[in-house]
Amino acid sequence: METVRKGFITSDLVKSSLIGALKKFNPVTMIKNPVMFVVEIGFIFVLLLSFFPNLLGGAEGEHAQLYNAIVAIILFVTILFANFAESIAEGRGKAQVQTLKNTKTDTQARVLLADGTEVMKQAHELKKGDIVLVQAGEVIPNDGEVIEGIATVDESAITGESAPVVKERSGDFSSVTGGTTVTSDWLMIEITSLPGESFLDKMIALIEGASRKKTPNEIALNTLLVSLTIIFLLVVVTLYPMTTYLNVHISIATLIALTVCLIPTTIGGLLSAIGIAGMDRVTQFNVIAMSGRAVEACGDVDTLILDKTGTITYGNRMATEFLPVKGVDQQTLMQAAWLSSLTDDTPEGKSILSLACDLGVTTTDEQQLIQYSEHIPFTAQTRMSGLNLQDGTIIRKGAYDTIKQDSLAAGQHIPTNLEQLVHQVSAVGGTPLVVSLNHNILGVIHLKDVVKSGLKERFEQLRAMGIKTIMCTGDNPLTAAAIAKESGVDSFIAESKPEDKIKVIKDEQALGKVVAMTGDGTNDAPALAQANVGLAMNSGTNAAKEAANMVDLDSNPTKIIEVVEIGKQLLMTRGALTTFSIANDVAKYFAIIPAMLMVAVPEMNALNIMQLHSPTSAIISALIFNAVIIPMLIPIAIKGVKYKPMSATKLLQKNLFVYGLGGILAPFIGIKVIDLLTGPLLTMLGL
């Protein structure tokens, strides 16, 4: 991944892109871009006229061949620059592809047969359903599901993340990717994909662009560009009899040059580059888009569905405060809570120890206490855990009902404000954990599913973009409401089941909304498939990844926010450059036509506001400007127009002012500057 990020344009990239640009001159390739295909046909005709000036009655004096040759060279450069823009965009993706291909090695696989024997096979010989054993230090040969064992896996070759991740049977961390390395222990894996169809193979094909199909927006824009091309072709065709009637002779080369100047060559040359670059920008965030349609859909997202656990919250309840009952000081409660958690290896137990230590609990003789005490583990039946100390002291922590019953059974009184403290914790979506010492209740530990830092600000960003956020959680309505309020989501669905997620997505889509969703589990797969944009976590199940149209290699569910911004940036870039290109064409029309006709129709001189040197200079200057504007816009096409959350009206006004007005002014300035440089030179050449 790092190769992609090193620089915007390197010398190696320029060299390979120039070679690629020349290869794209093949008419079979060019016909996929109708606008530039028209330019190529024009180039071929003018090139023939350069060698055979009498062809098609095109002779026009002793300097005809030179003029035709100059026009042909400029047309060639125009096509080259357009192809170069696309090659640059493709080249940046190929740097990442090479990294992925280096990961794909022909690995030896240890296949377990039905009779218990082992046989070694090459990775490309594996079949779907084969069971392979992968030990520490070995490469996982192909995509699969863990069916036995638990181990850490280094996925840095794919994700760029150096920290190994734990993979185990069942759950949301059972899927493994071919090309990754087991770093500890062993895994027994069932192969789930055929050779050449693994996740890595799909990534390579998608990034190379081999599987990239034009999106509906791109197809619609192509249709517009073809329509404009036909319109301007008709304008030029009708111009010929008009000028003939006025006794103005316009050569074939001039008519072709005029056509190229007026059709939307700027956006035509950059359109493919914009689409490819959009997918490339997504991959630089370690997200693999299964299609350009998915990236584009991100730009139109209206509603975002998020899981609570692991997405909005960290997923593990953590101790946040100690609440003693009347008559008990906080230090006593904290000391008992600390002792009850000494042998508790759960995230909750560790968080209690951490909080108690932070608040100043004495932690002497910790190892001795553990060694000479009886550990009472938590079970679903007892619903409490703790320690029996060597001196007979009994310390417990557990559910309110359980500890209350235990205390009553021992003949102890229940503190008067215990129920109030329990309700106080529950009312804010927390989990109350009651602590007792020798069956005397000391107080309550407030366990809370902690909301990830910075999420509230990020949801505010989405709100500014006009995107509604909905949290789906299996929690009770009280807990869900508290988490929703703290995180800043717009609404929530409590006690949510998989079918509830699908229903909310369908309901939103029925209102004409574009819906995005993040998920990682098999139970999320139906909803991921139903959503317009489904972002699956790479750490999740294969079912989730197959159902989604995007996969986040870093398994960061909030990455959807960056992806939405990239989608909006893609649409903005396409819209901005289209506005610029069309405004360019209008300006060039009014810049060139008066200069061409002013000799035969002196009255046209009043419209020649740029005072161009001559009709020939006007055509040559406009052609040169038409060619050089394409590479000048490549950085914008590749990097994208900077996106800032704002209303559609403000966005339209900004685009019209910056790219519309800029598109009108740029040709007037650019053509005039080029005319000042080329006019005298053309006069010297007798043109």
Q: What is the average per-residue pLDDT within 198-215?
A: 57
371 labeled binding residue = no
Q: How far apart (Å, rounded) are the C-alpha atoms in residues 329 and 326?
A: 8
Q: What is the mean pLDDT of residues 52-58?
A: 65
Residue 484 marked as a ligand binder: no
User: Residue 117 and residue 137: Cα distance in Å, rounded?
Assistant: 22
Torsion, Cα 148 153 159 163, to 10 degrees, reads 140
pTM for the whole structure: 0.63
**3-class SS string, 187-240:** EEEEECCCCCCCHHHHHHHHHHCCCCCCCHHHHHHHHHHHHHHHHHHHHHHHHH
The answer to whether 475 is annotated as binding is no
How much is the pLDDT for 78? 93
Is residue 639 annotated as involved in ligand binding? no
Q: Average pLDDT for residues 77-86, to the nearest whole number?
A: 89
Of the residues 154, 172, 280, 307, only one is catalytic, namely: 307
Q: What is the pLDDT at residue 606?
A: 72
Q: Is 177 annotated as a binding residue?
A: no
**Which amino acid belongs to residue 317?**
R
Of 42-51, 76-85, 156-165, 235-244, which gets the smallest average pLDDT? 156-165
Position with higher pLDDT, 307 vs 241: 241
- Coil, helix or strand for 564? helix
Is there a binding annotation on residue 11? no
The lowest-confidence range among 41-55, 542-556, 570-584, 667-681 is: 542-556
| 158 vs 515 pLDDT, higher one | 515
pLDDT at 43: 94
Confidence of residue 192 (pLDDT cuts 50, 70, 90): confident
Whole-number percent of the chain with pLDDT over 70: 86
Using DSSP's 3-state secondary structure scheme, residue 599 falls into coil
Say which residue the tokens 């190229």 belong to: 260
Whether 600 has a pLDDT exceeding 70, the answer reads no
How would DSSP label each residue in 296-318? HHHTT--EEEEETBTTTEEEEEE
What integer is the mean pLDDT of 627-652?
81
> Which residue type occupies 354?
S
Q: Give Cβ neighbours of residue 184 (< 8 Å, ≥ 6 apart).
A: 136, 151, 152, 164
Q: Is 426 annotated as a binding residue?
A: no
Residue 520 assigned ligand-binding role: yes
Residue 531 reports pLDDT greater than 80: yes
440: nearest Cα among 391, 401, 394: 394
Contact partners, residue 393, CB within 8 Å, separation at least 6 = 437, 438
**Please, which residues have CB within 8 angstroms of residue 424's CB and are 6 or more apart in sequence?**
323
Residues 6+ apart with CB under 8 A from 456: 486, 487, 488
Segment 322-333 mean pLDDT: 92
Q: Is 524 annotated as a binding residue?
A: yes
pLDDT band at 215 (very low <50, low <70, confident <90, very high): low
Tokens representing 243?
């000028």
Residue 48 and residue 55 in contact, taking contact as beta carbons nearer than 8 Å: yes
User: Which of 362, 169, 286 lies closest to 537 in space, CA to CA?
Assistant: 286
451-480, pLDDT tens digit by residue?
A: 777 788 888 888 887 889 998 877 778 778
Answer yes or no: are the C-beta atoms of 566 and 285 closer than 8 Å.
Answer: yes
Exposed, middle or buried by CB within 10 Å (0-12, 13-18, 19+), for 287?
buried
The predicted-structure confidence for 230-260, as pLDDT tens digits, reads as follows 988 888 888 878 877 777 777 888 889 888 9
Q: CB within 8 A of 511, min separation 6: which ones?
A: none
pLDDT in tens, 608-620: 777 778 888 888 9
Percent over 90 (pLDDT), the chain: 14
Asked whether residue 44 carries a pLDDT value surpassing 90, the answer given is yes
Residue 380 marked in a binding site: yes
CA distance 471 to 313: 11
Q: Please give the pLDDT value at position 59.
A: 45
> Nearest Cα to 378, choosing from 352, 416, 411?
352
Q: What is the pLDDT of residue 446?
A: 93
- Tell me the three state secondary structure of residue 372: coil
Check whether 465 is labelled as a binding-site residue.
Answer: no
* Mean pLDDT computed over 393-407: 91
- pLDDT at position 100, please? 55
- In this structure, the dihedral spanned by the alpha carbons of residues 162, 168, 172 and 178, taken in order and rounded to 10 degrees, is 60
364 assigned binding-site residue: no
Mean of all residue pLDDT scores within the chain:
81
Q: What is the pLDDT of residue 200?
A: 62
What is the C-alpha end-to-end distance of the chain, expressed in Å? 53
Lowest model confidence (mean pLDDT) among 32-41, 589-598, 613-622 = 589-598
**Residue 280 bears catalytic tag:** no
Structural domains in the chain? Answer: 9-94+207-282+563-683 (no CATH), 286-311+451-552 (3.40.50.1000), 315-448 (3.40.1110.10)
404 band by pLDDT with thresholds 50, 70 and 90: very high
99 is in an annotated binding site: no
Decide: 403 and 384 in contact? Cβ < 8 Å.
Answer: yes
CB 516 within 8 A of CB 298: yes
pLDDT band of residue 312 (cuts 50, 70, 90) is confident
50 has a pLDDT exceeding 80: yes
- In this predicted structure, the answer to whether residue 56 has a pLDDT above a threshold of 70 is no
